[in-house]
Amino acid sequence: MPELPDITAYIAALEERIVGHTLEQVRLASVFLLRTVDPPVRSVEGRTVTGLRRIGKRIAIGLDTDIWLVLHLMIAGRLHWKGKGAKLAGKNALAAFDFSSGSLVLTEAGSKRRTSLHVVRGKDLEEMNPGGVEIFETDLAGFRAALSVENRTLKRALTDPRLISGGGSAYSDEILHAAQLSPVTLTPKLKEEEWARLFAATRATMTAWMERLGAEAKKGFPEKVTAFRPEMAVHGRFGLPCPRCGEKVQRIRYADNETNYCAKCQTGGKVLADRSLSRLLGKDWPRTLDELEALKRK
């Protein structure tokens, strides 16, 4: 997070604001942010922005010297558009990029400093790409080949940037719900027809979200980038009704995130093991929705 639709919305909003403008100054408030020394970050100052590119989940800003600023927002990094010379206020503010048109401020919530900035030459730009397949540039065979490289669950395959470009936890839940496939199905077990369904659902889900977030970005800079949106079908909606069948959305919890799915629509009614709950319930762990409901009635 942010994922493909969020990154494309950021890029569209930035294109409108900075292409053709001068990057006057880069202000770094965190020593951890900049991960490269050559070319020096000062070398971009006074240069004109020629364009933007998405490299996986990174945002690359190109200058007229073919030197690029490459930002990876990781989980908690966010961008903000402010008046020129905006103050770097608070411990979350990591950097400001002062353009002749305004200031782009980078923040990261929390104490972990994962967000990164690389300054690279154009010829080295592709090295920043983790190599996942681009869903709008490949076909069904290419999509299937990319996701089948390793024996993985669908959920993990769809969130791995080395397999699929721009993927992540939120939209993978949405894609799997749209495809009516279980998050824990292993990729080698997927049937021909299921691959076609997954590919179509991946493109349709991403297209719908890119259009929605793109339309919002036309109205104003994307200040409220979040993995949790009320229009989502299952992601972040544990216990709420599935928009397709009305059953309650289920979850599998992990240490720092969770997978959401609808048992009726995606797993043939089977409730998947939730580590914390299954430890608590031991052998009483319900395997079906009916059993879960019966348990709740006890």
Cβ 205 to Zn ion shortest distance, Å: 15
Q: Which is nearer to Zn ion, 97 or 261 (CB)?
A: 261
* Closest by Cα among 233, 214, 240 to 174: 233
Contacts to Zn ion from residues 207-266, by CB under 5 A: 242, 244-245, 262, 264-265
Spatial contact of 78 and 107, defined as CB atoms under 8 Å apart: yes
Q: How far apart are CA 296 and CA 277, in angstroms?
A: 13
Cβ 263 to Zn ion shortest distance, Å: 8
Tell me the CA distances in angstroms from 31 to 68, 93, 95, 97, 139, one per residue in order.
19, 12, 10, 15, 42
Spatial contact of 55 and 128, defined as CB atoms under 8 Å apart: yes
Q: Which is nearer to Zn ion, 142 or 243 (CB)?
A: 243
Cβ 269 to Zn ion shortest distance, Å: 10
| Size of interface with Zn ion, in residues (CB under 5 A) | 6
Dihedral, 130, 131, 134, 137 alpha carbons, nearest 10? 150
Q: Which is nearer to Zn ion, 198 or 242 (CB)?
A: 242
Q: Which is nearer to Zn ion, 163 or 233 (CB)?
A: 233
Cβ 271 to Zn ion shortest distance, Å: 13
Q: Which is nearer to Zn ion, 13 or 265 (CB)?
A: 265
Cβ 200 to Zn ion shortest distance, Å: 18
Q: How far apart are CA 56 and CA 160, in angstroms?
A: 11
Binding site for Zn ion (CB under 5 A): 242, 244-245, 262, 264-265
